[in-house]
Amino acid sequence: MDELTQNYLDYLIIEKGLSKNSLMSYSADLAQFLTFLEKNKIGFVNGVDLTVILAWLIDLAKNGLSAKSRARHLISVRGFFKYLLNEKVISANPLKNVGIPKTGVSLPKFLTVQEVSALLDIPDISNPRELRNSAMMEIMYGSGLRVSELIFLKLQDVNLDANCVRVMGKGSKERIIPFGTPAGTVIQKWIKEGRPVVLNQLSSPYLFFARAGKPMTRQGFWKILKKYGLMAKLSKNITPHTLRHSFATHLLEGGADLRSVQAMLGHSDISTTQIYTHISKEYLIKMHHEYHPRS
């Protein structure tokens, strides 16, 4: 790691012609980022994803850095990853889609706890289809599911006694994720009261479905979120990923440890999952219960 960092700093001197003061700033920013990774036991080359970047930005904010200072740190780290990508040390830049406004960097887009509550309060759960929509939003925010994981959930994937859901994520990797009491209550109501009415004597293996018992499309669920966002008078553009991102942000801001949040979100890279294989289901439930706003 020291060699990669030094090579990058040499590159900035030789290729970019950076001044001594600028080089010192870059070096300090990178050192801080690497210290954060080491503290959280995150492998550098394959262990950094958007969740790690989010946790790092939150950490910078908690340490009192202004938006302008966070932007400078982000520019330093993003440039380093771009260099590593060009040198073929990594196969993708995890900061590629992280924008930097002129006013400085803020945390990636997510809903506040109050905005999530306003959104989740909109559905009229006396209506069976609205009850379905409510259950879908509650479990997505409650467990941080990907939209593809949500729409293909099956009845047997949900354990209402333990308040946990089993999903098959990217790379056919299974994970068990807790959800809170509000999600459990509305899901149980949907299964017992709403689901049979909407099915209308049809059968379906899926927990949630659209017409004829078939899974809802990603676009269908996005339209539901968009409608409720407008009804809740939220100014932000809400997508399915917004709920997943809010799930991670609220846990991290509340104090949950990074590796537990990563475990709940799931990883596409096998090497990154190895760092938290020792985390038990009971520990994840404890993290969720302590730090999720709707636990």
Our answer to whether residue 241 is catalytic in this structure is yes
Determine which one of 267, 288, 292, 294 is catalytic: 267
Determine which one of 39, 62, 170, 226 is catalytic: 170
Our answer to whether residue 267 is catalytic in this structure is yes
Question: Long-range CB contacts (< 8 A, 24+ apart) of 78-82?
Answer: 79/26, 80/5, 80/8, 80/30, 81/48
Our answer to whether residue 276 is catalytic in this structure is yes
Determine which one of 244, 250, 259, 292 is catalytic: 244
Determine which one of 166, 189, 241, 281 is catalytic: 241
* Cα separations in angstroms, 274 against 124, 139, 277: 43, 26, 5
Our answer to whether residue 227 is catalytic in this structure is no
The position carrying tokens 């980022």 is 33
Our answer to whether residue 8 is catalytic in this structure is no
Alpha helices in the chain (DSSP H): 2-14, 20-39, 44-47, 50-62, 67-86, 113-120, 128-143, 147-151, 181-189, 195-199, 218-231, 240-254, 258-265, 270-273, 281-291
Our answer to whether residue 41 is catalytic in this structure is no
Determine which one of 132, 276, 292, 294 is catalytic: 276
Q: What burial class does residue 249 get, using C-beta atoms within 10 Å of its C-beta: 0-12 exposed, 13-18 middle, 19+ buried?
A: buried
Can you tell me the distance from the alpha carbon of 287 to that of 295, in angstroms, rounded to the nearest whole number? 10
Active site amino acids: 146, 170, 241, 244, 267, 276
